[in-house]
Structure 1
Amino acid sequence: MSNTAAPAGWGVWTWPNLVTAIRLAGIPLFCYLLLATEYYWQAAIVLAVGGGTDWVDGQLARRLNQVSKLGRLLDPFVDRLYILTSLLALTYVGLLPWPFTIAVLAREAVMVSMVLVLRFHGYAPPQVHFLGKSATAVLFMSFPVLVVAGLVSNADTWAAPLGWALAWWGLGLYWMAAAVYVRQAAKLVRGDRPRSHAAA
Protein backbone atom coordinates (compact mmCIF):
# COMPACT_ATOMS: atom_id res chain seq x y z
CA MET A 1 0.00 0.00 0.00
CA SER A 2 2.86 2.38 0.80
CA ASN A 3 4.45 1.50 -2.53
CA THR A 4 1.65 3.07 -4.50
CA ALA A 5 1.70 6.23 -2.40
CA ALA A 6 5.42 6.80 -2.76
CA PRO A 7 5.43 8.43 -6.20
CA ALA A 8 3.06 11.18 -5.04
CA GLY A 9 5.06 12.12 -1.91
CA TRP A 10 8.58 12.46 -0.61
CA GLY A 11 8.76 8.73 0.17
CA VAL A 12 11.69 8.96 2.59
CA TRP A 13 11.62 5.38 3.86
CA THR A 14 12.03 3.36 0.68
CA TRP A 15 14.49 0.69 -0.43
CA PRO A 16 15.89 2.84 -3.26
CA ASN A 17 16.59 5.69 -0.84
CA LEU A 18 18.33 3.26 1.50
CA VAL A 19 20.63 2.19 -1.35
CA THR A 20 21.31 5.85 -2.15
CA ALA A 21 22.10 6.55 1.53
CA ILE A 22 24.57 3.63 1.61
CA ARG A 23 26.22 4.97 -1.53
CA LEU A 24 26.43 8.39 0.12
CA ALA A 25 28.19 6.85 3.14
CA GLY A 26 30.84 5.48 0.79
CA ILE A 27 32.09 8.99 -0.03
CA PRO A 28 33.69 9.78 3.37
CA LEU A 29 34.92 6.19 3.59
CA PHE A 30 36.70 6.54 0.25
CA CYS A 31 38.26 9.85 1.31
CA TYR A 32 39.48 8.31 4.56
CA LEU A 33 41.02 5.28 2.85
CA LEU A 34 42.68 7.39 0.16
CA LEU A 35 43.94 10.30 2.25
CA ALA A 36 44.54 8.85 5.72
CA THR A 37 45.61 5.24 5.08
CA GLU A 38 47.52 3.17 2.56
CA TYR A 39 44.58 0.88 1.76
CA TYR A 40 44.55 2.03 -1.83
CA TRP A 41 43.02 -1.10 -3.32
CA GLN A 42 40.19 -0.82 -0.79
CA ALA A 43 39.74 2.88 -1.63
CA ALA A 44 39.47 2.01 -5.32
CA ILE A 45 36.94 -0.74 -4.60
CA VAL A 46 34.77 1.55 -2.44
CA LEU A 47 34.86 4.17 -5.18
CA ALA A 48 34.06 1.67 -7.92
CA VAL A 49 31.15 0.12 -6.02
CA GLY A 50 29.71 3.44 -4.86
CA GLY A 51 29.83 5.03 -8.29
CA GLY A 52 29.12 1.88 -10.29
CA THR A 53 25.87 1.13 -8.48
CA ASP A 54 24.21 4.43 -9.38
CA TRP A 55 21.71 2.51 -11.53
CA VAL A 56 20.60 0.20 -8.69
CA ASP A 57 18.46 2.71 -6.79
CA GLY A 58 16.75 3.83 -9.99
CA GLN A 59 15.98 0.26 -11.02
CA LEU A 60 14.63 -0.55 -7.54
CA ALA A 61 12.45 2.56 -7.57
CA ARG A 62 10.84 1.53 -10.84
CA ARG A 63 10.50 -2.17 -10.10
CA LEU A 64 9.10 -1.64 -6.59
CA ASN A 65 7.00 1.36 -7.62
CA GLN A 66 8.85 3.46 -5.04
CA VAL A 67 9.72 6.49 -7.14
CA SER A 68 9.75 9.45 -4.75
CA LYS A 69 10.52 13.17 -4.74
CA LEU A 70 13.39 12.60 -2.33
CA GLY A 71 14.87 9.92 -4.57
CA ARG A 72 14.65 12.15 -7.64
CA LEU A 73 16.60 14.82 -5.77
CA LEU A 74 19.01 12.62 -3.80
CA ASP A 75 20.11 10.23 -6.54
CA PRO A 76 21.56 12.83 -8.96
CA PHE A 77 22.97 14.78 -5.99
CA VAL A 78 24.91 11.71 -4.83
CA ASP A 79 26.11 11.04 -8.39
CA ARG A 80 27.45 14.61 -8.68
CA LEU A 81 28.97 14.41 -5.21
CA TYR A 82 30.82 11.21 -6.13
CA ILE A 83 32.21 12.84 -9.25
CA LEU A 84 33.28 16.06 -7.54
CA THR A 85 34.69 14.40 -4.40
CA SER A 86 36.72 11.81 -6.28
CA LEU A 87 37.85 14.44 -8.78
CA LEU A 88 39.14 16.79 -6.08
CA ALA A 89 40.62 13.99 -3.95
CA LEU A 90 42.54 12.54 -6.90
CA THR A 91 43.75 16.01 -7.86
CA TYR A 92 44.87 16.65 -4.28
CA VAL A 93 47.03 13.52 -4.17
CA GLY A 94 48.47 14.25 -7.63
CA LEU A 95 46.71 11.58 -9.64
CA LEU A 96 44.83 14.06 -11.86
CA PRO A 97 46.32 17.21 -13.41
CA TRP A 98 44.61 20.53 -12.71
CA PRO A 99 43.71 21.20 -16.39
CA PHE A 100 41.68 17.98 -16.44
CA THR A 101 39.99 18.89 -13.16
CA ILE A 102 39.18 22.42 -14.37
CA ALA A 103 37.67 20.99 -17.57
CA VAL A 104 35.30 18.81 -15.54
CA LEU A 105 34.44 21.62 -13.11
CA ALA A 106 33.77 23.99 -16.02
CA ARG A 107 31.31 21.49 -17.45
CA GLU A 108 29.54 21.29 -14.09
CA ALA A 109 29.37 25.10 -13.99
CA VAL A 110 27.75 25.11 -17.43
CA MET A 111 25.14 22.60 -16.27
CA VAL A 112 24.35 24.53 -13.09
CA SER A 113 23.97 27.75 -15.10
CA MET A 114 21.66 25.99 -17.53
CA VAL A 115 19.44 24.69 -14.72
CA LEU A 116 19.25 28.18 -13.17
CA VAL A 117 18.21 29.68 -16.52
CA LEU A 118 15.54 27.01 -16.97
CA ARG A 119 14.23 27.59 -13.45
CA PHE A 120 14.07 31.32 -14.13
CA HIS A 121 11.88 30.64 -17.17
CA GLY A 122 9.68 28.20 -15.24
CA TYR A 123 11.09 24.92 -16.56
CA ALA A 124 12.45 21.88 -14.77
CA PRO A 125 15.85 20.45 -15.77
CA PRO A 126 15.79 18.32 -18.94
CA GLN A 127 15.42 14.58 -18.68
CA VAL A 128 18.67 12.66 -18.31
CA HIS A 129 19.45 10.95 -21.60
CA PHE A 130 21.63 8.00 -22.56
CA LEU A 131 24.64 10.06 -23.62
CA GLY A 132 24.70 11.87 -20.29
CA LYS A 133 24.49 8.63 -18.28
CA SER A 134 27.16 7.01 -20.46
CA ALA A 135 29.49 9.99 -20.11
CA THR A 136 29.17 9.97 -16.32
CA ALA A 137 29.72 6.21 -16.18
CA VAL A 138 32.85 6.24 -18.38
CA LEU A 139 34.36 9.22 -16.57
CA PHE A 140 33.67 7.68 -13.21
CA MET A 141 35.12 4.30 -14.20
CA SER A 142 38.45 6.02 -14.79
CA PHE A 143 38.82 7.25 -11.20
CA PRO A 144 39.28 3.93 -9.34
CA VAL A 145 41.55 2.70 -12.14
CA LEU A 146 43.71 5.83 -11.79
CA VAL A 147 43.90 5.25 -8.01
CA VAL A 148 45.27 1.78 -8.66
CA ALA A 149 47.61 3.07 -11.38
CA GLY A 150 49.11 5.79 -9.21
CA LEU A 151 49.20 4.24 -5.77
CA VAL A 152 49.35 0.45 -6.09
CA SER A 153 52.78 -1.01 -6.84
CA ASN A 154 53.31 -2.88 -10.09
CA ALA A 155 49.87 -1.86 -11.40
CA ASP A 156 50.75 1.21 -13.44
CA THR A 157 51.78 -0.73 -16.56
CA TRP A 158 48.21 -1.84 -17.25
CA ALA A 159 46.12 0.51 -15.10
CA ALA A 160 47.55 3.85 -16.28
CA PRO A 161 46.77 3.37 -20.01
CA LEU A 162 43.32 2.02 -19.20
CA GLY A 163 42.57 4.75 -16.66
CA TRP A 164 43.65 7.61 -18.92
CA ALA A 165 41.85 6.17 -21.93
CA LEU A 166 38.63 6.09 -19.88
CA ALA A 167 39.30 9.54 -18.40
CA TRP A 168 39.79 11.35 -21.71
CA TRP A 169 37.01 9.44 -23.42
CA GLY A 170 34.69 10.22 -20.51
CA LEU A 171 35.63 13.90 -20.52
CA GLY A 172 34.86 14.16 -24.23
CA LEU A 173 31.49 12.46 -23.79
CA TYR A 174 30.83 14.63 -20.74
CA TRP A 175 31.13 17.81 -22.80
CA MET A 176 29.16 16.31 -25.70
CA ALA A 177 26.32 15.53 -23.30
CA ALA A 178 26.48 19.07 -21.93
CA ALA A 179 26.13 20.43 -25.46
CA VAL A 180 23.02 18.30 -25.99
CA TYR A 181 21.48 19.47 -22.70
CA VAL A 182 22.23 23.12 -23.46
CA ARG A 183 20.69 22.75 -26.92
CA GLN A 184 17.54 21.25 -25.38
CA ALA A 185 17.38 24.09 -22.85
CA ALA A 186 17.85 26.73 -25.54
CA LYS A 187 14.95 25.29 -27.55
CA LEU A 188 12.72 25.39 -24.48
CA VAL A 189 13.58 28.98 -23.64
CA ARG A 190 13.34 30.24 -27.24
CA GLY A 191 10.15 28.36 -28.01
CA ASP A 192 8.46 29.23 -24.69
CA ARG A 193 6.83 25.80 -24.68
CA PRO A 194 4.49 24.72 -21.90
CA ARG A 195 6.13 23.12 -18.88
CA SER A 196 3.97 20.03 -18.89
CA HIS A 197 6.51 17.89 -20.76
CA ALA A 198 9.46 18.80 -18.52
CA ALA A 199 10.78 16.46 -15.87
CA ALA A 200 9.01 16.67 -12.51
Structure 2
Amino acid sequence: MPVGSGSDRLHDRVLTVPNVVSLARLGLIGVFGYLLLVARADGPAVAILMLSGASDWVDGKLARLLDQASALGALLDPAIDRLYMVAVPVAFGLRGLVPWWIIGTLLVRDLLLLAVLPALRSRGLTALPVTYVGKAGTFALMSAFPLILLGQWDELWSRVVGSVGWAFLIWGLGMYLWAFVLYLIQAALVVRTMPKVTGV
Protein backbone atom coordinates (compact mmCIF):
# COMPACT_ATOMS: atom_id res chain seq x y z
CA MET A 1 0.00 0.00 0.00
CA PRO A 2 1.49 3.39 -0.92
CA VAL A 3 2.57 5.55 1.96
CA GLY A 4 -0.11 8.04 2.92
CA SER A 5 -2.92 6.32 1.04
CA GLY A 6 -4.60 5.21 4.29
CA SER A 7 -4.66 8.72 5.69
CA ASP A 8 -5.93 10.03 2.36
CA ARG A 9 -8.84 7.58 2.41
CA LEU A 10 -9.59 8.49 6.00
CA HIS A 11 -9.59 12.18 5.09
CA ASP A 12 -12.07 11.46 2.27
CA ARG A 13 -14.40 9.34 4.41
CA VAL A 14 -18.04 10.43 4.62
CA LEU A 15 -19.52 8.10 7.24
CA THR A 16 -17.64 9.04 10.41
CA VAL A 17 -18.87 9.56 13.96
CA PRO A 18 -18.17 13.33 13.91
CA ASN A 19 -20.02 13.70 10.59
CA VAL A 20 -23.03 11.83 11.99
CA VAL A 21 -23.04 14.22 14.97
CA SER A 22 -22.84 17.20 12.60
CA LEU A 23 -25.74 15.89 10.49
CA ALA A 24 -27.77 15.40 13.66
CA ARG A 25 -27.08 19.03 14.55
CA LEU A 26 -28.33 20.00 11.09
CA GLY A 27 -31.59 18.12 11.65
CA LEU A 28 -32.06 19.78 15.03
CA ILE A 29 -32.39 23.18 13.32
CA GLY A 30 -35.76 22.14 11.95
CA VAL A 31 -36.80 20.61 15.27
CA PHE A 32 -35.91 23.85 17.06
CA GLY A 33 -37.91 25.94 14.57
CA TYR A 34 -40.96 23.74 15.05
CA LEU A 35 -40.74 23.83 18.85
CA LEU A 36 -40.26 27.60 19.03
CA LEU A 37 -42.66 28.80 16.33
CA VAL A 38 -45.34 26.10 16.02
CA ALA A 39 -45.53 24.17 19.28
CA ARG A 40 -44.44 27.17 21.40
CA ALA A 41 -42.63 24.66 23.61
CA ASP A 42 -39.96 26.95 25.03
CA GLY A 43 -38.49 24.42 27.47
CA PRO A 44 -37.73 21.77 24.84
CA ALA A 45 -36.55 24.51 22.45
CA VAL A 46 -33.99 25.61 25.06
CA ALA A 47 -32.90 21.99 25.47
CA ILE A 48 -32.38 21.70 21.70
CA LEU A 49 -30.21 24.83 21.67
CA MET A 50 -28.11 23.54 24.56
CA LEU A 51 -27.78 20.11 22.95
CA SER A 52 -26.74 21.70 19.67
CA GLY A 53 -24.12 23.83 21.39
CA ALA A 54 -22.72 20.82 23.22
CA SER A 55 -22.65 18.69 20.07
CA ASP A 56 -20.76 21.44 18.25
CA TRP A 57 -17.93 20.90 20.73
CA VAL A 58 -18.35 17.11 20.72
CA ASP A 59 -17.93 16.59 16.97
CA GLY A 60 -14.58 18.37 16.92
CA LYS A 61 -13.43 16.49 20.00
CA LEU A 62 -14.45 13.15 18.51
CA ALA A 63 -12.69 13.94 15.25
CA ARG A 64 -9.43 14.35 17.18
CA LEU A 65 -9.91 11.46 19.63
CA LEU A 66 -10.98 8.95 16.98
CA ASP A 67 -8.65 10.32 14.31
CA GLN A 68 -11.66 10.77 12.02
CA ALA A 69 -11.02 14.21 10.60
CA SER A 70 -12.43 14.44 7.08
CA ALA A 71 -12.80 16.89 4.24
CA LEU A 72 -16.59 16.69 4.58
CA GLY A 73 -16.39 17.38 8.30
CA ALA A 74 -14.20 20.42 7.69
CA LEU A 75 -16.95 21.80 5.45
CA LEU A 76 -19.96 20.65 7.49
CA ASP A 77 -19.02 22.04 10.89
CA PRO A 78 -18.59 25.73 9.94
CA ALA A 79 -21.50 25.57 7.47
CA ILE A 80 -23.87 24.28 10.16
CA ASP A 81 -22.56 26.92 12.59
CA ARG A 82 -23.47 29.57 10.02
CA LEU A 83 -26.92 28.05 9.53
CA TYR A 84 -27.52 28.23 13.27
CA MET A 85 -26.38 31.85 13.30
CA VAL A 86 -29.06 32.58 10.69
CA ALA A 87 -31.89 30.26 11.70
CA VAL A 88 -31.90 30.91 15.44
CA PRO A 89 -32.00 34.76 15.28
CA VAL A 90 -34.63 34.68 12.51
CA ALA A 91 -36.78 32.30 14.57
CA PHE A 92 -36.46 34.63 17.57
CA GLY A 93 -37.46 37.55 15.36
CA LEU A 94 -40.51 35.72 14.03
CA ARG A 95 -41.53 34.96 17.60
CA GLY A 96 -41.03 38.62 18.58
CA LEU A 97 -38.38 37.83 21.19
CA VAL A 98 -35.54 39.92 19.71
CA PRO A 99 -35.80 43.19 17.71
CA TRP A 100 -35.38 42.83 13.97
CA TRP A 101 -32.66 45.51 13.85
CA ILE A 102 -30.38 43.22 15.88
CA ILE A 103 -31.19 40.26 13.68
CA GLY A 104 -30.70 42.37 10.55
CA THR A 105 -27.30 43.53 11.81
CA LEU A 106 -26.17 39.93 12.31
CA LEU A 107 -27.43 38.84 8.89
CA VAL A 108 -25.97 41.81 7.00
CA ARG A 109 -22.62 41.23 8.68
CA ASP A 110 -22.54 37.62 7.48
CA LEU A 111 -23.69 38.59 3.97
CA LEU A 112 -20.88 41.12 3.71
CA LEU A 113 -18.38 38.47 4.77
CA LEU A 114 -19.67 36.24 1.97
CA ALA A 115 -19.14 39.09 -0.46
CA VAL A 116 -15.44 39.19 0.49
CA LEU A 117 -14.88 35.49 -0.29
CA PRO A 118 -14.38 35.88 -4.07
CA ALA A 119 -11.49 38.29 -3.45
CA LEU A 120 -9.86 35.79 -1.08
CA ARG A 121 -10.36 32.89 -3.47
CA SER A 122 -8.74 34.89 -6.26
CA ARG A 123 -5.63 34.89 -4.03
CA GLY A 124 -5.82 31.14 -3.41
CA LEU A 125 -7.45 31.36 0.04
CA THR A 126 -10.75 29.88 1.15
CA ALA A 127 -10.93 31.72 4.48
CA LEU A 128 -9.00 33.88 6.91
CA PRO A 129 -7.86 32.74 10.36
CA VAL A 130 -10.63 32.83 12.95
CA THR A 131 -9.94 35.49 15.58
CA TYR A 132 -10.39 35.12 19.32
CA VAL A 133 -12.80 38.07 19.27
CA GLY A 134 -14.90 36.35 16.63
CA LYS A 135 -14.99 33.09 18.59
CA ALA A 136 -15.92 34.92 21.78
CA GLY A 137 -18.63 36.88 19.98
CA THR A 138 -20.16 33.73 18.50
CA PHE A 139 -20.05 32.01 21.90
CA ALA A 140 -21.75 34.99 23.57
CA LEU A 141 -24.48 35.15 20.93
CA MET A 142 -25.22 31.44 21.01
CA SER A 143 -25.32 31.60 24.82
CA ALA A 144 -27.62 34.62 24.72
CA PHE A 145 -30.50 33.06 22.79
CA PRO A 146 -31.29 30.14 25.14
CA LEU A 147 -30.94 32.48 28.14
CA ILE A 148 -33.36 34.97 26.58
CA LEU A 149 -35.77 32.13 25.92
CA LEU A 150 -35.47 30.99 29.54
CA GLY A 151 -36.36 34.56 30.50
CA GLN A 152 -39.90 34.25 29.13
CA TRP A 153 -41.45 32.83 32.31
CA ASP A 154 -43.14 35.11 34.85
CA GLU A 155 -40.79 34.18 37.66
CA LEU A 156 -37.98 36.08 39.39
CA TRP A 157 -35.33 33.53 38.36
CA SER A 158 -36.56 33.76 34.78
CA ARG A 159 -36.29 37.55 34.68
CA VAL A 160 -32.75 37.37 36.08
CA VAL A 161 -31.71 34.76 33.53
CA GLY A 162 -33.33 36.80 30.76
CA SER A 163 -31.38 39.90 31.81
CA VAL A 164 -28.15 37.90 31.68
CA GLY A 165 -29.14 36.70 28.23
CA TRP A 166 -29.62 40.26 26.99
CA ALA A 167 -26.24 41.23 28.43
CA PHE A 168 -24.67 38.35 26.49
CA LEU A 169 -26.53 39.42 23.35
CA ILE A 170 -25.30 43.02 23.51
CA TRP A 171 -21.76 41.94 24.41
CA GLY A 172 -21.75 39.31 21.68
CA LEU A 173 -23.11 41.71 19.05
CA GLY A 174 -20.34 44.19 19.83
CA MET A 175 -17.61 41.56 19.54
CA TYR A 176 -19.21 40.09 16.43
CA LEU A 177 -19.05 43.49 14.72
CA TRP A 178 -15.51 44.15 15.93
CA ALA A 179 -14.43 40.78 14.55
CA PHE A 180 -16.00 41.83 11.25
CA VAL A 181 -13.86 44.99 11.17
CA LEU A 182 -10.73 42.94 11.88
CA TYR A 183 -11.73 40.50 9.14
CA LEU A 184 -12.09 43.34 6.63
CA ILE A 185 -8.66 44.70 7.58
CA GLN A 186 -7.12 41.25 7.07
CA ALA A 187 -8.92 40.85 3.75
CA ALA A 188 -7.69 44.26 2.55
CA LEU A 189 -4.10 43.30 3.44
CA VAL A 190 -4.45 40.02 1.54
CA VAL A 191 -5.77 41.78 -1.55
CA ARG A 192 -2.98 44.38 -1.43
CA THR A 193 -0.06 42.06 -0.73
CA MET A 194 -0.90 38.74 -2.41
CA PRO A 195 -0.98 38.35 -6.20
CA LYS A 196 -3.94 36.76 -7.90
CA VAL A 197 -3.69 33.06 -8.58
CA THR A 198 -3.72 32.35 -12.28
CA GLY A 199 -6.67 30.32 -13.50
CA VAL A 200 -8.93 31.32 -10.59
Q: What is the CA deviation profile of residues 88-120 of structure 1, one whole-angstrom value per residue up to 9, with x for unaligned ones?
A: 000001001011111111211121112222123
Alpha-carbon deviations, 1:123-156, whole Å to 9, x = none? 2211223322221111111011111213x33254
Q: Structure 1 unaligned runs (5+)?
A: 196-200
2:7 is matched with which residue: 4, 8, 13? 4
Displacement of 1:157 in angstroms is 1.7
Corresponding pairs, count: 193
Task: Select 2:110's aligned residue among 105, 108, 111.
Answer: 108
- Alignment partners' CA distance in 1, 2:83 and 2:5: 29
Paired residue type of 1:81: L
The answer to whether the 8 A contact 2:123-2:195 is kept is no
Any conservation in 2 of the 1:114–1:185 contact (CA below 8 Å)?
yes
In structure 1, give the amino acid aligned to 2:60.
G
Among residues 14, 25, 44, which one is paired with 1:42 in the alignment? 44
C-alpha distance in structure 2 between counterparts of 1:73 and 1:103, whole Å: 25
- 5 Å-filtered alignment, 1:38-187, equals 38-150=40-152, 152-154=153-155, 156-187=158-189
Q: What is the aligned partner in structure 2 of residue 198 from structure 1?
A: none
Give the TM-score normalised by the residue count of structure 2: 0.87
Question: Structure 1 pair 189/61, CA: closer, same or farther in 2 (3 Å)?
Answer: same
Give unmatched runs, 5+ long, in structure 2: none
Does structure 1 retain, via aligned residues, the 8 Å contact 2:148–2:163?
no
- Bigger shift: 26-35 or 129-138? 129-138
Question: In structure 2, do the counterparts of structure 1 residues 133 and 190 end up closer, same or farther at CA, with 3 Å as the change threshold?
Answer: same
Q: Which amino acid aligns with 2:136?
A: S
Q: Secondary structure of 1:53's partner?
A: helix
CA RMSD of aligned residues (A): 2.2
Task: Pick closer, same or farther for the CA change 1:190–1:169 going to 2, 3 Å.
Answer: same
Whether contact under 8 Å (1:121, 1:189) holds in the other structure is yes
Q: Give the deviation of 1:185 after TM superposition.
A: 1.6
* TM-score, normalised with respect to structure 1: 0.87
The one of the two structures with greater contact order (alpha-carbon pairs below 8 A, sep at least 6) is 1
1:41 touches 1:148 (CA, 8 Å); kept in 2?
A: yes
Relative distance call for 1:166 and 1:3 in structure 2 (3 A) is farther
**Partner Cα separation in structure 1 for residue 54 and residue 167 of structure 2:** 18
Change (3 A) 1:55 1:129: farther
The one of 14, 17, 36 equivalent to 1:15 is 17
Superposed CA deviations along residues 48-95 of structure 1, whole A, max 9, x for unmatched, are 221343222122222222221111111011101111111000000100
Q: Which structure has the larger Rg over C-alpha atoms?
A: 2
Moved more, 50-59 or 30-39: 50-59
In 2: Cα distance, 1:191 partner to 1:14 partner: 39
The one of 2, 27, 41 equivalent to 1:25 is: 27
Taking a change above 3 Å as real, the CA distance of residues 27 and 15 of structure 1, as seen in their structure-2 partners, is same
Whether the 8 Å CA contact 1:107–1:178 is kept in 2: the answer is yes
CA distance 1:145–1:183, shift in 2 (3 Å) = same
